[in-house]
Structure 1
């Protein structure tokens, strides 16, 4: 099965940034032009891009959709968009602006019935993001607890979700390696595909993820690329 790398471009205040464990106070600005960053990843051979609207994730206002549309137009690479989808209109707009897949986070956890409606409307363009501290899920930019990881995997699988994006918050932005054990447990709990996020620091980590579980078929990579640990080439 192909294993897909998703270079991450996190957008806040119109700039490409990285946070450590989701803390807005621990921000590093990597570039004032997220489109240029995305174009560089595409030139290096990216097959997908993972674009996060951090402004929307924190305050619910989708301020960066035009930037996401510009990234789609500039790169021609499929975009997986995440951050701040709080309504069906937000989801529809994200797809209309060019996202090939939209990751539902807070809305999925706080109003699970929305997921069923989203899947009915957009099918496999919908993924659910499960961001966990241990097995406790976090919502609203990782500022609020919102249920159990395994309960959510079971519930959303029954609703027809075909992809989960699993983030181990304790590893995010830490370059400390992925949590392979928890990832495997999560993949065991669903029949859907799983994209891993958090902790990737080396090519060895990517090799380990490829072997982690048959349903783990991709990884989001952020800080390791920006820090020059390896490149997409």
Structure 2
């Protein structure tokens, strides 16, 4: 089980949202790069970055902060939010991002995503509201079921699927284990759970499945509900 501490970037600051609503943003740091250093010291191998402004704009908007994060840590970084063409993918990889997360475009243009996965380290982000895929920074809900999208990428060469139950995200209400398992089983791809992690019990529940490979941790850490350093020691 790989733990992915998360940093969501909005206007250059590290924030967390509730259910993906931008006006719910709570600021946790105006120095996101210092958070990454802290995660690295705790034992993190990966950190999950989201450019929230980029997710809504359809193009990266926190590039200055992303570059500074890369320059100040040695952990692997995965990045999502507004990355929708090959030029941007290449640019992000050139500045040192280790894996690109494609979300909205995975719904609207799966052939493009499959082509990119054959060339670059790509993860697909599947974000669901009531079982249907949410796009454009979760502002819209498509007519596609999350399960069907996962099937679409079953043999597409993507490195991982990151699945988020939007109704749980930022709520500390507990991770949706069943949803995550469904995605893992139909895709056969390394699956990372996201949304709603409240404490150690959620991580233990995911580990017990033997079918989920990772979990993204955000508000549970920032609100002091989860001892991240302890969890890294247990898992390493």
Which residue of 39, 52, 55 maps to 1:54? 52
1:193 CA displacement: 0.4
The reply on whether 1:158 has 2:155 as its aligned counterpart is yes
1:159 CA displacement: 2.2
What secondary structure does 2:72 align onto?
Answer: helix
Aligned to 2:131: 135
User: Number of matched residues?
Assistant: 228
Cα RMSD for the two superposed structures: 1.1
What secondary structure does 1:171 align onto?
Answer: coil
The reply on whether 1:220 has 2:216 as its aligned counterpart is yes
1:71 CA displacement: 1.3
Q: Is contact 1:157–1:191 with CA below 8 Å preserved after alignment?
A: yes
Residues 1-233 of structure 1 correspond to what in structure 2 (within 5 A)?
A: 3-122=1-120, 125-146=121-142, 147-214=144-211, 216-233=212-229
> What's the TM-score once normalised by structure 1's chain length?
0.94
User: Which ranges in structure 1 are unaligned for 5 or more consecutive residues?
Assistant: none
1:66 CA displacement: 3.1
1:64 CA displacement: 1.6
1:213 CA displacement: 4.1
User: Which ranges in structure 2 are unaligned for 5 or more consecutive residues?
Assistant: 230-236
1:184 CA displacement: 1.4
Distance 2:45 2:158 in 1: 22
What secondary structure does 1:121 align onto?
Answer: coil
Distance 1:213 1:107 in 2: 30
Distance 1:222 1:43 in 2: 17
> What's the TM-score once normalised by structure 2's chain length?
0.93
Distance 1:222 1:26 in 2: 15
Distance 1:119 1:51 in 2: 19
